[in-house]
Homo-oligomer: A and B are copies of this chain.
């Protein structure tokens, strides 16, 4: 292996890049084995022997893993009468333990089980310019979300991972603009290419466009524009690449775009690329704001005096939820920061329907079938704000 201990700074930098996968796997393995759960719940610090005994893992391997976690600032250690004791850090209690307030556990397990394997095919994806579902997992690449879901367990984990990511990025994303002026907000989900869209004054497309090629995005945005009343708007939440003249970057958006190459039909876009897309669909005055995470918010309006085209079907309730913003919105008690929330949510498929709002592209018939697979006594859903704040789908994937 290239080792980051070396005199030449250029070699050290390369070695750090080239051993990044080892660092990731330290985090993934410690998460999978339950290190962070055990230490978050333990009454005090534990030594490696106690931890390996509790987890049923080898003494030598556990000690190495714990020590690496200390070097990565995920755990802390102290000498105590000849023994080394390990304890959680604030980072681990917040983001790594299963019960942490912003736990990313499912996202890490999804990264370990699915994304790690996709990225092992990066060279081939760059060669071919297309996703690697067939090669990495033996499933046809279309329809796209059938490939991404691949199995019920995989779908549950994917949903849980997205929820966790959104739990961190969502509050900032939804407070970038004052949304309380839109009486009816639709967080667009379901089969939005085919199902009729519901009545709403604002359509949110959160991490939606990045899954699709330009022509599909244009088609979707035209549908949204037709469904939008005069004065209504669309809110995009997307990772945004720098403009070509500014030089390549930022790295997180580039890595996300490579992930989208490996796993979807889409890509990250620049601000001007997103502006072009919404403008071509008829929206005006696009405004961009940072949200404190990798996602940028873009709000664009439909002209107040625009008339619906004669071909627009009358809106009817569909697979997307209809939510109503109360007057005097205030922070949701479960969510940090200021964030609009919604008192009324009308999912289309009963209690479990809300799950499909943000995560499923399958059509209503399939969702109804899934309703039987996930009966309400197995799925406990609590709506915090929008569909995407759905939490605690039980049973949680392990």
Question: Which residue of the partner chain, among B22, B27, B255, B293, contacts A68 with CB atoms under 8 Å?
Answer: B255
A185 to chain B, nearest CB (A): 25
Majority DSSP secondary structure for residues of A touching B: helix
Mask: chain A, 24-48; 1 = CB below 8 Å from B; 0 = not: 1111110011000000000000000
Mask: chain A, 226-263; 1 = CB below 8 Å from B; 0 = not: 00000000000001000011011111111111110100
**Are A33 and B94 interface neighbours, CB within 8 A?**
no
- Chain B residues with Cβ below 8 Å from A293 are 3, 5-7
Interface residue stretch chosen among A119-127, A136-144, A278-286, A360-368: A119-127
Known: A5-B253, A21-B119. A94 touches B267 (CB 8 A): no
**Are B127 and A10 interface neighbours, CB within 8 A?**
no
Mask: chain A, 128-165; 1 = CB below 8 Å from B; 0 = not: 11100000000000000000000000000000000001
A160 to chain B, nearest CB (A): 14
Mask: chain A, 188-200; 1 = CB below 8 Å from B; 0 = not: 0000000000000
- Chain B residues with Cβ below 8 Å from A62 are 126
Question: Which residue of the partner chain, among B102, B126, B172, B250, contacts A61 with CB atoms under 8 Å?
Answer: B126
**Are A1 and B115 interface neighbours, CB within 8 A?**
yes
Known: A20-B20, A122-B26, A126-B33. A91 touches B1 (CB 8 A): no
- Chain B residues with Cβ below 8 Å from A107 are 1-2
A373 to chain B, nearest CB (A): 27
Question: Which residue of the partner chain, among B65, B73, B95, contacts A11 with CB atoms under 8 Å?
Answer: B95
**Are A126 and B57 interface neighbours, CB within 8 A?**
yes
Does A116 lie at the interface of the complex (its beta carbon under 8 Å from any beta carbon of B)? yes
Question: Which residue of the partner chain, among B18, B27, B249, contacts A24 with CB atoms under 8 Å?
Answer: B18
Question: Which residue of the partner chain, among B22, B239, B261, contacts A3 with CB atoms under 8 Å?
Answer: B239
Does A323 lie at the interface of the complex (its beta carbon under 8 Å from any beta carbon of B)? no
**Are B245 and A22 interface neighbours, CB within 8 A?**
no
Question: Which residue of the partner chain, among B72, B120, B254, B256, contacts A17 with CB atoms under 8 Å?
Answer: B72
Give bound CA distance, A107 to B1, whole Å.
7
A12 to chain B, nearest CB (A): 9
- Chain B residues with Cβ below 8 Å from A70 are 247-249
**Are B258 and A108 interface neighbours, CB within 8 A?**
no
Does A53 lie at the interface of the complex (its beta carbon under 8 Å from any beta carbon of B)? no
Does A394 lie at the interface of the complex (its beta carbon under 8 Å from any beta carbon of B)? no
Does A23 lie at the interface of the complex (its beta carbon under 8 Å from any beta carbon of B)? yes
Does A358 lie at the interface of the complex (its beta carbon under 8 Å from any beta carbon of B)? no
**Are B71 and A32 interface neighbours, CB within 8 A?**
no
Question: Which residue of the partner chain, among B58, B244, B251, contacts A127 with CB atoms under 8 Å?
Answer: B58
- Chain B residues with Cβ below 8 Å from A357 are none
**Are A57 and B4 interface neighbours, CB within 8 A?**
no
Known: A19-B255, A23-B20, A64-B258. A6 touches B119 (CB 8 A): no
Does A104 lie at the interface of the complex (its beta carbon under 8 Å from any beta carbon of B)? yes
**Are A7 and B292 interface neighbours, CB within 8 A?**
yes
- Chain B residues with Cβ below 8 Å from A73 are 13
